[in-house]
Amino acid sequence: MKISGVPYRTLWPGESGLVRVIDQRRLPFELVTLDLKTLEDAAHAIKTMVVRGAPLIGATAAYGLALALRTDASDRRIEEASKILRATRPTAVNLAWALERVRRAIARLDPGQRFEAALREAGDICEADVEQCRSIGAHGLEIIRRLAKPSARRVNILTHCNAGWLACVDWGTALAPIYMAHDAGIPVHVWVDETRPRNQGASLTAYELGAHGVPHTVIVDNLGGLLMQRGEVDMVIVGSDRTTACGDVCNKVGTYLKALAARDNDVPFYAALPVSTIDWSLDNGRDIEIEERSASEVTEVSGRTAAGEVASVRVVPDGSAALNLAFDVTPARLVSGIITERGVCEASREGLLRLYPERRRTG
């Protein structure tokens, strides 16, 4: 996607095997890139959320594993590097999926060939992600088109967190259909949940929608219910960090409450995700490990001061405890449909298997 007319991806290979990423901690105030040269750089970037969003976490981990093999590509090194990367963020299943893909691609090669092959596989993962997101966009666009149909009226879409191109390599998952609708001339407007505690909606979703010229309004996380009661939300689209084989959707904390409000108000609630986000080994969303992050993300808020510097301020009394569970699970029964690169399906085992019939054989 473009920023000020310049096409960007969230990460891209640089000279001599390094990987360049947009430092998302600095957005929306500064567009700065960072070079990842080692396994440690990649692990640190994921852990500290220089990069974030399930597909991008996976892509960065794939490159991280490749970088780890530059000087030592032994089986032991692969094991050690995978363990370090896997521990960075536990909920987004794309991370484990991408590591597994790179490992499979290099397992039978001589150590001397593994570094280059791993870099190539990481590159392929990125290209596939772009194509999958493009395809999710095309399938989601048809849903938006149908909603717009009666009178070519404005379609109001609510989204939570950031599941746009900044969360992927390009395009995004939940936002891809919105970009395509906007580009097709369908009048769309996005209600952007600010998404406390880290405010990925306010800082990242608003930034990328603005850069593409998509009309949007940032709202506090608690406003969505009232807007739905007033008929001002036509659909909800969110991304996912892990979706079970039965269609339970794990996403940024607060998503579940939006799904409840959507059901109560007959607003369709869609999750948009690529195959790499489906955890075929789990049936029940309750079994998904929920990442617990630092309480300081709740007790402090960061932003730009009137003087122009970026600073954090405390918003909670000294001594009050804070709990920061980063994700929640929306049960399949509250999900109107799952938008994947292969089409739209019911949020259920049967629905997913209809799109991925090859999974019937492997279980």
Residues that are catalytic: 241
In this chain, which residue has its C-beta nearest to ligand MRU?
A: 239
Please give the C-alpha separations between residue 176 and each of 14, 141, 323, in angstroms, as whole numbers. 26, 8, 32
Contact 72, 128 (CB under 8 A): no
Q: Closer CB to ligand MRU, residue 115 or residue 191?
A: 191
Beta strands at 327-330 and 310-314: parallel, antiparallel or unpaired? unpaired
Q: Which residues pair with 192 in a beta bridge?
A: 159, 218
C-alpha torsion sign, points 79, 50, 274, 134:
negative
Q: Closer CB to ligand MRU, residue 77 or residue 277?
A: 277
Number of Cα atoms under 13 Å in the Cβ half of residue 43? 15
Q: Closer CB to ligand MRU, residue 65 or residue 176?
A: 176
CA–CA gap between residue 342 and residue 340 (Å, rounded):
5
* Residue 330 C-beta: closest distance to ligand MRU, Å: 12
Q: Closer CB to ligand MRU, residue 152 or residue 325?
A: 325
CA–CA gap between residue 335 and residue 282 (Å, rounded):
17
Contact 155, 235 (CB under 8 A): yes
* Residue 101 C-beta: closest distance to ligand MRU, Å: 18
Site residues for ligand MRU per CB under 6 A: 52-55, 92, 161, 163, 167-168, 173, 200, 239-241, 251-252, 326
* Residue 170 C-beta: closest distance to ligand MRU, Å: 11
List Cβ neighbours of 111 (8 Å cut-off, separation of 6 or more): 73, 74
Contact 42, 50 (CB under 8 A): no
Q: Any idea what the Cα angle at residue 147 is, between residues 3 and 344, rounded to 5°?
A: 80
| CA 352 to chain centroid | 20
* Residue 320 C-beta: closest distance to ligand MRU, Å: 23
* Residue 342 C-beta: closest distance to ligand MRU, Å: 17
| DSSP letter string, 2-53 | EETTEE--SEEE-GGG-EEEE-TTSTTT---EEEE-SHHHHHHHHHTTSS-S
* Residue 294 C-beta: closest distance to ligand MRU, Å: 12
Q: Closer CB to ligand MRU, residue 24 or residue 82?
A: 24
Q: Closer CB to ligand MRU, residue 172 or residue 351?
A: 172
The strand ranges marked E within 220-342 are 235-238, 242-244, 249-252, 269-272, 278-279, 300-304, 310-314, 327-330, 337-340
